[in-house]
Amino acid sequence: MTDDVKDAPNRVDGVLKVTGKAKYIAEWKFPNLAYGYLILSTIAKGKIRSIDTSEAEKQAGVIKILTHLNTQKFPKADTDKSHRPLHNDQILFSGQAVGVAVAETFEQARYAASLVKVEYEVETPNTDIRKLLDKAIPSRPRPDRGKPEEAFQNSEVKIEAEYSIPIEHHNAMELHASVANWEGNKLVIYDKTQGVNGVRGFLAGIFGIPATDINVLAPFVGGGFGASLRPSPNTYLTPLAAREVKRAVKIVYSRRQVFTAHGYRPYSIQRIKMSAEKNGKLTAILHETFNNSSSNEDYTEGMTGVTRSVYACPNVKTESKFVRTDMQTPLAMRAPGAVSGMFALESALDELSYKLKIDPLELRLINYAEVDPESGKPFSSKELKKCYAEAAKRFGWSKRKPEPRSMQEGNWLVGYGMATGTWGAGQAQASARITLKSDGTALIESSVTDIGPGTYTAISIIASKNLGLPIEKVKVVLGDSNLPAGPTEGGSTATASVGTAVQEGSQVVLKKIFDLAKFGDYKFEDIKVESGKFVAKDGKSISFVEILQKNNLDKFGEVYTATPNNGERSKYAIASHGAQFVEVKVDEELGIIRVTRVVELTAAGKIVSPKTAHSQELGGVVWGIGMALTEETQVDHRYGRIMNPNFAGYYVPVNADVLQVDTGFVEEIDTVINPLGVKGLGELGMVGVPAAIANAVYHATGKRMRNLPITPDKILS
């Protein structure tokens, strides 16, 4: 463990989580609580012909069986193409919610749901993207850079390849759930969400009530990863059921139901042409992508953005297309677009390196982008070269023998692979209330959720530093729509956004409370803040507690809103960067692949909370291992049905799959991105990992794996 981690503050919510005192959504209750259980469609396309609920309604404890036939319908704008359960008799995908059984207990509701008989008019579903490519619809057109087709044809060295990634599901530890209660026309709902304000607006629009009459709470979220960026069916069905039965209602998904409760990483096909001069200088990249969408919404994964921005190439052509299928709409899944696009791009670059007989790291340095290749703007900060150098040194890349199948330990073929990672560095408008209290503590409040990355801790550290208080004297309250508005937590923007509001707002509160102090002739600008006191250069001091007591105040606070300086930011290209180096060992006789070592160095601005930041990078590596080697949602295209909606058939990495992982940071001084100087890093930790693993497998075996996941059968074949 490095010193930056050992000396850093622990998670402020760590004890609550490991002792079970942190309450997740399904643990909340209201008086007189009833339980709902979803009834799911068994076909992927068609109409409901009839629903027989008579047997279910006879069962003990059953309160009501809700279907599209007996629930209130709410107006829906023509422009709203999203699926709304129980809205009509249409079936758009297998596993669609077609009813809710509401009963006194969870067990009674589940049993009643199993007795509901649904008959359908069945249509043949189309879920196989490969059979529908001729119907692909172009999206997000981007002008060509240079003359890519001509440059490719005239180049000395070139490769063409196709890569594919299957559907993948988020599978966070916490299942999706909602607990809703109406108090007259006012609604209180606990919901697994990454953005309480988004849910509040969604429900206000549906039920036609003021947003101020809805309170959405998500104090602790057990993993989001994009699955909770938009409201799930339970978000709507739970308050709907509560309204129908005039009681509080809780709906919690089963693991199987989660596979159709929300979106997923779509199936993608990527075709890349890449060419270079013999010295390694890229001359052209042509990148065409396809991903599946649903029949009712147009979703494009956006895999080509990295192609246009990572390497200095004068001629680039990108095309993004989507294919309508009879499945639910995909959704952002950790590092959406970037990790998929980089799998193809970094694999293709690795293929080119062998054809050129140039070291893969050297090839990346030859094509290093000193400025943004797309806009020509300078980067606000970019320490990717330092990431390459330090990670390569830690890993021992210089010991790599360049020929495939040239390194072996007993029965194990050994392979080294590497890749580049990149992610954005966003900041959204955010508000926070900063309050100093007469007991010597501070209270920080914002509606932003903490979905697990350590937002409570990062905000506590920022408040502690800026208010001059020990971290144990700072309390942070998040995940409540009645608090000052924070952004949806996604895309690694929460710390930059809310953290900036806390940093700047702290100075506003300190200045105002200093003015109340009447502290001699001292000026605020000349005062230090430490240990809950204003301290002058001559050593004289006055505490916040004294000031509040003198002014007969129990507390003093202010709501502060921070807005990104888009004018300054627009002059620069802004991104986080990283380098991943991977060692694999492959037993060809058994088809076993082990990721034995990973070294990852990240440049993501200032690292506010080293412990949680390292945890995020480690988590990203684990995600990358899963994407590369195990994860695949399998669909039986005859029925449009997901066949492995469980942990018995959908394999996520476990402890035995994750061996030595070394993560670290190259800190950057960036005064442009935000006053804190922080960038996004949660997604960045996985962006290059699947490609690095695939590249390492090629180095070990001489077999190029272009279709994920790399399972034993592919090694054996």
- Active-site residue list: 683
Query: Coil, strand or helix: which one is 152?
Result: helix
Q: Which two tokens stand for residue 461?
A: 């550290």
Q: What are 266's strand-pairing partners?
A: none
How big, in percent rounded to 5, are the helix, strand and coil portions of the chain? 30, 25, 45
Q: How far is CA 324 from the centre of its chain?
A: 24
Query: Coil, strand or helix: which one is 15?
Result: helix
C-beta neighbour count of 690 within 10 angstroms: 31
- Evaluate whether 303 touches 266 at the Cβ level (below 8 Å): no
Query: What's the Cα-to-Cα distance from 393 to each of 388, 398, 414, 584, rounded to whole Å?
Result: 8, 8, 18, 18
Q: How far is CA 465 from the centre of its chain?
A: 28
Residues 6+ apart with CB under 8 A from 74: 206, 207, 208
Q: Which two tokens stand for residue 525?
A: 């600008």
Q: How many helices (H) and strands (E) does the chain have?
A: 20, 29
Q: What are phi and psi of 27, to 5 degrees?
A: -90, -10
Q: In terms of DSSP H, where are the helices of 325-476?
A: 338-356, 360-366, 384-395, 455-467
- Evaluate whether 173 touches 223 at the Cβ level (below 8 Å): yes
- Evaluate whether 68 touches 9 at the Cβ level (below 8 Å): no
Q: In terms of DSSP H, where are the helices of 450-608?
A: 455-467, 494-517, 544-550, 566-569
Which is it for strands 117-122 and 282-293: parallel, antiparallel or unpaired?
A: unpaired
For 382, half-sphere exposure in the C-beta direction (CA atoms, 13 angstrom radius) is 22
In whole angstroms, give the CA distance from residue 494 to residue 111.
41
In whole angstroms, give the CA distance from residue 242 to residue 236.
10
Helix (H) or strand (E) holding 715: helix 712-716
Q: Which two tokens stand for residue 543?
A: 């505490």
Cα angle vertex 499, ends 493, 505, to 5°? 140
In whole angstroms, give the CA distance from residue 603 to residue 478.
28
C-beta neighbour count of 318 within 10 angstroms: 23
Query: What's the Cα-to-Cα distance from 596 to each of 109, 417, 625, rounded to whole Å?
Result: 46, 12, 11
Q: How many residues does the chain have?
A: 717
Query: Coil, strand or helix: which one is 269?
Result: strand
In whole angstroms, give the CA distance from residue 604 to residue 62.
53
